[in-house]
Amino acid sequence: MIRKVTLLLIAALAALAGCSARAGALPLPSRSPESPVIFWAHYMPMVPHGHMHAHPYSGGNHDAWPFDAQHALLQEDYEEDIRQALDSGVNGFQMLIFVPEDIFEAARKVRKETGRMFYISPQWAYANPKTFEETEKRIVEFYEKHLDDPHVYTKDGYQIHFVWESARTSDVAALQKKLQDKGLKIVLAPTIRSLTSPDLDPARIAALGLRAAEGWMHGAPEGEEPRALTESLAGPTAGGFLYVPSIAAGYDSSNRPGQFIHVPFHGVRTLVDSLRTWVSLGYRQLMLVTWNDPQESLEIPSSRNIWGHNEILSFFHGVADDGKSPFADSKVVVSYPVECMAGDQFFFQVVGLPARGKTLEWRAQVALHPVGASDAQGAIVLRSMSEGAADRESLLEMRWDTSGVVGVVPAIQPIVSVDYRESGGEWQPLYQNVALPPTRLRFNLIQYPVPYAIDLARIAMEPKLALSVQPGGLLDTVALTIDGDASTIRKVNLTDGTRSLGAFREPEAAGNFPLRDIFVRIEASEDRPLTLAVEGGVIRDFYGVAGRPNDALKTVNAPSATFSIRPVNSEARSRVARLDLSPDARLTLNYVKGDPSQAVTANLDELRRGASRTVSIGGKPATLSMILTADMTDANIDYPVKTGPWQRTIPLHLEEDGPMLLQAMALLRNDRVAISPPVWVERPGADPLVAAQWLATEGTFEDFVNPSSETTLNPLSLDHVIAGFVPRSEIPWFHLDLEEGAGTRLNDRGISQQAGRASIETGGLKRDELFKPGIVGDWEWLESGHRGRALRLGGDSVIRFRSKSSPVGAQTTSLWVEVQASGRGEKSRWSTLKAGPFRLEILSGRESLLAFDRGGVKLERRVETAFLPGWNHLVFVYDLSSVRAYLNGADLGEVAAGKPAYQRTHIMPSIGFSGTSPDGPAFTGVLDDVQVIGAGLGPDGVAALAVSPDPNISNPKAP
């Protein structure tokens, strides 16, 4: 796992270069007046342009889309990155593992055109004696090629090379000695990333040496800690090492399928406080988290960082240079949640950045207008005011407790006004009634935990956008109107939160097929040529994850095509076909040399649920699958709009996913953003109220994340628990019917696991491998289960849920499991079932152990169990105050909790079997019909879960 949030960069100049000078006599380079101001950003050149971490693998998730465009040439990509970075106060990239020559050409071109210098430094991986030879070869090659390159940062004639994941600085010292013994003037700067808590006792610092300052960089340093640490590091015990602090402005890994590591952003407070601290201490070089990954951080401009972090960085870059604001005009950045957990506090921050030499006071008013609540009256109004010093930022924060509107107001849209005045002067309006992207008040689940950071100057009033949504049965229609000059628009994306559901495009030439731009995800486990044929339609193009648009997109415009499942220069084994179809169209997918009888065929109705099967190719099993999806084409490929009308025919899956909060976001050619009013879309028909439980936390989501270890903080008591009623559609309710019959994805419609629920994981695979099709494990699809098909898990396989498919508080888990009464010698006999936070261990023919573990709350008790031979229905219920289990409708008893469990981070739930059972009843590993529900259901709700439809219903996924 590449982690950028706890970096401390330490350049060992004097001690490792053999200088005999005492460390105390050496200036810290990042504090020296002669040192240039460099705000470094970690950069991953292996990430295709515009993609998040985990690409080009199939395990990522598009939580946000970047504003940079994809270009045909890599150098053009780098030029845009460098220009955006320079406009953001970032003037150096640390290139992880390898440094493409294209980035030097890009830096030279930008410097020639603008006169602005951009620094490039390698960040080598793993200074390990076992890899010295390989690493040394690459370092020497880089050193010799760029010996006199002004874009490579040098100190006293030494090239500065950073080394990532340097757990042992002695190894870095040994590698550096080898290089310097050969006459190479190189200093290696180790990157420390431990989570060790700080200890600022001087003797402890002296003993730790390089490890003195690690750990506490997660949050914004306050008080005397950074000053005491700085003084200690500058003293004679510091060992001569040079320190460049890292700004942990927030990190989030929930874009990955099996992770949810979240380092608190606290809006933009962590960034502002950290920058102010280190700049005030005189540091002129700082290190930031990833630039080119809009999923993990907020550095690159994106749908959730609308130049907000960038303006803050620019401001402090100027302050670090000469102590003054670099701005000719004052600026305002706002930050607030993309989603707010119902019961938490909603926060809204306003950062005032004054023009050069100005001393300003600020005041702000925010009106929170309800969205999706027809009977709501008026708006909630928040106000705040702050004073400021000359060339000093001001941060105003307002909060609103949502616990009183749970189940009543599903979303809000902030509309903000900001005034300022110079000392003793009149108030002047700077921004009036600026409508901002909405916030979803989501019940018992957070899918987008990273906040907005928006420069208000980037919100355009023109052109005006409007959305209308017509829910349908199979497909929904989203129409866009533009009032104004459409030629100013680079692209318009339909968004759900900060996630793109696809671009609005100019209509294709008129044809005979009324359903336009229908997208179908295609997957195949074998990298062999495939053929897709359409009766009643035309294939427009194929898209696959790749760094270059000409690799990612393949134009077809024909009713059939032969294609590769993997784009050029990509590891992905997914493609999305864009089609125009008639309502009765039928698709046929097969391997080119596959038996025609093995082809997967499906109409639109079957594609909505998905069609997959296992076939035989060359004597070995292979999988094929198709499923209807949203537009998964890269959100940063530009599709300009010209004439209209603009319309998207898209499956919103309201039945499965519940209501959606949609908005159109247009990126203009002047790097501003226009947004439409939000549209709340819910499925037609009745929406009954369900008894549910939540917490009035009296804090924001990130108030309950430990800043030093990223674990959940849980100071809440049972007094915080509220019981009430919530519309059924707003409760997380995830159903795995296990009818796929092939492959590893479960209830998953996304090309990059977007909108996916779960997968079959074998052997604790790494995140990049979780969703590769065709992985062979000790699991097996069964044609006959409790209802339709079923799945058998072995001891090395589990069902792994997405972190974003997991309730964080109250929860009910229902599943059917097969139990064998007795049978010595049978292979598949397991004593223990683990289902997320719940665990049931069979101890004997009449007794089992019920256990629960979530957010630091651990419970267990012995219960009487009477399993039946064959299928048994198990239901586990956690209602924030107790845990209860049911077996075939019988209440097994309750375990009371002393405090509520609220899991904020590290949610990687799974369902699986373990333990041996020599005799008596045992789980066979076969399960069916899994439901994970974000509420603690009562007895009536539990009984309803056991009701099955006609067991003789046709299997919709049978080929």
For residue 349, what is the enclosing H or E element?
strand 345-353
Q: Which residue, among 132, 134, 102, has the nearest Cα to 120 in the 3D structure?
A: 102
Q: Which residue, among 925, 922, 924, 941, has the nearest Cα to 933 in the 3D structure?
A: 941
Q: How far apart are CA 854 and CA 909, in angstroms?
A: 10
Q: How far apart are CA 558 and CA 540, in angstroms?
A: 7
- pLDDT of res. 219: 46
For residue 861, what is the enclosing H or E element?
strand 857-864
Q: How far apart are CA 512 and CA 298, in angstroms?
A: 45
Better pLDDT: 20 or 227: 227
The segment(s) of the chain belonging to CATH 2.60.120.200 are 732-945
Instruction: Calculate mean pLDDT across residues 531-559.
Output: 90
Instruction: Calculate mean pLDDT across residues 105-133.
Output: 90
Listed range (60-74, 236-250, 335-349) with the worst mean pLDDT: 236-250
Quote the mean pLDDT of the chain.
84
Q: How far apart are CA 956 and CA 631, in angstroms?
A: 24
Residues 6+ apart with CB under 8 A from 36: 153, 284, 285
- pLDDT of res. 920: 87
Q: Are 936 and 901 in contact (CB under 8 A)?
A: no
- pLDDT of res. 450: 92
Instruction: Calculate mean pLDDT across residues 517-524.
Output: 91
Q: Are 478 and 502 in contact (CB under 8 A)?
A: no
pLDDT band at 904 (very low <50, low <70, confident <90, very high): confident
Residue 177 in this model has a pLDDT that exceeds 80: yes
Instruction: Calculate mean pLDDT across residues 741-765.
Output: 75
Residue 496's Cβ-count burial label (10 Å; 0-12, 13-18, 19+) is: buried
Instruction: Calculate mean pLDDT across residues 932-956.
Output: 72
Listed range (356-365, 553-562, 646-655, 787-796) with the worst mean pLDDT: 646-655
Q: Helices H, strands E: what count in the chain?
A: 12, 56
Q: How many CB atoms lie within 10 A of CB 853?
A: 16
Residue 38 in this model has a pLDDT that exceeds 90: yes
pLDDT tens-digit series, residues 696-722: 999 999 999 887 677 888 899 999 999
Instruction: Calculate mean pLDDT across residues 515-526.
Output: 90
Listed range (188-197, 395-404, 544-553, 902-911) with the worst mean pLDDT: 188-197
Name the token pair of 788.
């339709």
- pLDDT of res. 740: 92
- Give the C-alpha distances (Å, rounded to integers) separating 264 from 257, 802, 906: 20, 20, 13
Q: How many CB atoms lie within 10 A of CB 918?
A: 10
Q: Does domain 8-323 have CATH number 3.40.30.10?
A: no
pLDDT band at 339 (very low <50, low <70, confident <90, very high): very high
Name the percent of the chain lying above pLDDT 90.
Answer: 53
The segment(s) of the chain belonging to CATH 3.20.20.80 are 8-323
Residue 902's Cβ-count burial label (10 Å; 0-12, 13-18, 19+) is: buried
Residue 138 in this model has a pLDDT that exceeds 70: yes
- Per mean pLDDT, which of 140-144, 297-301, 509-513 is the most reliable? 140-144
- pLDDT of res. 210: 34
- Give the C-alpha distances (Å, rounded to integers) separating 930 from 748, 750, 841, 945: 14, 20, 19, 10
Q: Tell me, which fold does domain 460-506+639-681 have in CATH?
A: Immunoglobulin-like (2.60.40)
Q: Which residue, among 364, 382, 526, 532, has the nearest Cα to 456 in the 3D structure?
A: 364
Residue 526 in this model has a pLDDT that exceeds 50: yes
Residue 935 in this model has a pLDDT that exceeds 60: yes
Instruction: Calculate mean pLDDT across residues 370-397.
Output: 84
Listed range (1-5, 111-115, 252-256) with the worst mean pLDDT: 1-5
Residue 209 in this model has a pLDDT that exceeds 80: no
Using DSSP bridges, classify how beta strands 673-675 and 499-503 pair: parallel, antiparallel or unpaired. Answer: unpaired
Q: How far apart are CA 84 and CA 543, in angstroms?
A: 27
The segment(s) of the chain belonging to CATH 2.60.40.10 are 460-506+639-681
Listed range (100-109, 389-398, 593-602, 762-771) with the worst mean pLDDT: 762-771
Residue 458 in this model has a pLDDT that exceeds 80: yes
- Give the C-alpha distances (Å, rounded to integers) separating 536 from 258, 513, 575, 603, 867: 39, 7, 21, 10, 52
Residue 562 in this model has a pLDDT that exceeds 50: yes
CATH architecture of 732-945: Sandwich (2.60)
- pLDDT of res. 903: 86
- Per mean pLDDT, which of 426-440, 566-580, 800-814 is the most reliable? 426-440
Listed range (487-501, 559-573, 713-727, 769-783) with the worst mean pLDDT: 769-783
- pLDDT of res. 258: 63
- pLDDT of res. 30: 58
Instruction: Calculate mean pLDDT across residues 179-189.
Output: 87
DSSP assignments along 546-595, one per residue: -SSHHHHEEEEEESEEEE-SS-TT----EEEEEEEEEEEEEEEEEETTS-
Residue 932 in this model has a pLDDT that exceeds 90: yes
Q: Does domain 515-628 have CATH number 2.60.40?
A: yes
Residue 375 in this model has a pLDDT that exceeds 70: no
Instruction: Calculate mean pLDDT across residues 153-176.
Output: 77
Residue 3 in this model has a pLDDT that exceeds 90: no
- pLDDT of res. 825: 54
pLDDT tens-digit series, residues 217-270: 444 455 555 666 566 555 443 333 456 777 766 788 877 766 677 888 899 998
Q: Are 919 and 757 in contact (CB under 8 A)?
A: no
175-190 burial code (b ≥16 CB/10 A, e <16): bbeebbeeebebbbbb
Residue 58 in this model has a pLDDT that exceeds 70: no
Q: Which residue, among 517, 498, 492, has the nearest Cα to 638 in the 3D structure?
A: 492
Residue 102 in this model has a pLDDT that exceeds 90: yes
Listed range (450-454, 477-481, 681-685) with the worst mean pLDDT: 681-685
* The residue to which tokens 């209440």 are assigned: 891
Name the percent of the chain lying above pLDDT 70.
Answer: 83
Name the token pair of 48.
């295709």
Residues 6+ apart with CB under 8 A from 905: 260, 261, 262, 705, 710, 711, 712
Q: Are 439 and 340 in contact (CB under 8 A)?
A: yes
pLDDT band at 812 (very low <50, low <70, confident <90, very high): very high
Residue 603 in this model has a pLDDT that exceeds 90: yes
Q: Which residue, among 841, 773, 788, 803, has the nearest Cα to 932 in the 3D structure?
A: 803
pLDDT band at 204 (very low <50, low <70, confident <90, very high): very low
Q: How far apart are CA 815 and CA 873, in angstroms?
A: 6
Q: How far apart are CA 422 and CA 17, in angstroms?
A: 52
Listed range (179-193, 426-440, 642-656) with the worst mean pLDDT: 179-193
Residue 376 in this model has a pLDDT that exceeds 80: no
Amino acid found at 10: I
Q: Note every long-range contact of 599-605, with CB atoms under 8 Å and residues 24 or more positions apart, other chains counting.
A: 599/624, 599/959, 600/624, 600/625, 600/626, 600/959, 601/959, 602/626, 604/474, 604/475, 604/515, 604/518, 604/628, 605/474
- pLDDT of res. 643: 77
Residue 382 in this model has a pLDDT that exceeds 60: yes
Instruction: Calculate mean pLDDT across residues 667-686.
Output: 93
pLDDT band at 193 (very low <50, low <70, confident <90, very high): very low
Listed range (338-352, 923-937, 938-952) with the worst mean pLDDT: 938-952
Residue 535 in this model has a pLDDT that exceeds 70: yes
Instruction: Calculate mean pLDDT across residues 318-327.
Output: 95
